[in-house]
Amino acid sequence: TFMTPNYNLPFTIELLDATTDKTLGNFELSIFQIIQRNADNFIKSSDKKPSYNEKMNWFELRDPKTDQIIGLLRAQFIFKENPRVLFWNSDITEIPNRTLDDLTIDTLKQYIDRAQSLASWLSAWISLYKYVMNWENPFCTGSIFLLFLYTMIFGSS
């Protein structure tokens, strides 16, 4: 567990050799990138429950001196926000602007995948709304209406 002052601040994770205590490679990551990767993985696996290995991501290990890719590391990072610190923290800090991603083919492909998943999610909700409002299943629509009526009568008092 470690703390970062804001979502966009990158932190460096280093892979050390246990015998020599030398850095084999490292990669930079920010909380924003962790959240975005987890969301992308969730969207890709929304039709089935992902296994532990599917939740893990590949990261490029870079040589600290030459910044060349020297290997891959498979790891899982999970973001847990502390709402107490978020809402009741007396130390107010200014958050710097997030650096924009380079527009590469992979980045453009990710943006298109995200837009397609959002469009499919919206179309699923619209078709469900039409299904209920057109009384295609009277029992389902009636049940939803009774639930709505119950919450309006007893929820407002």
3-state secondary structure 38-71: HHHHHHHCCCCCCCHHHHCEEEEEECCCCCCEEE
Average of per-residue pLDDT across 117-127: 90
Alpha-carbon distance 14 to 22, whole Å?
10
Amino acid at 59: F
Residue 8 structure tokens:
């966009």
Please say if the pLDDT value at position 49 is more than 60. Answer: no
Residue with token string 């975005």: 36
Relative to beta strand 23-29, strand 11-16 is: antiparallel
What is the share, in percent, of the chain residues with pLDDT greater than 90? Answer: 20
- What pLDDT score does 154 carry? 87
DSSP-assigned letter for residue 77: -
Q: What is the pLDDT of residue 8?
A: 73
The rounded Cα 49 to chain-centroid distance in angstroms is 16
The residue type found at 123 is S
pLDDT band, residue 52 (cuts 50/70/90): very low
Average pLDDT over residues 3-8: 67
Q: How far apart are CA 113 and CA 111, in angstroms?
A: 5
The position carrying tokens 């602007």 is 97
CA distance 86 to 141: 41
Tokens of residue 146, six digits: 């009774």
> What per-residue confidence (pLDDT) applies to 105?
85
The string of DSSP letters for 80-96 reads ---HHHHHH-S---PPP
Position 50 pLDDT exceeds 50: no
Name the residue with higher pLDDT: 101 or 141: 141
Under the banding of pLDDT at 50, 70 and 90, the label for residue 102 is confident
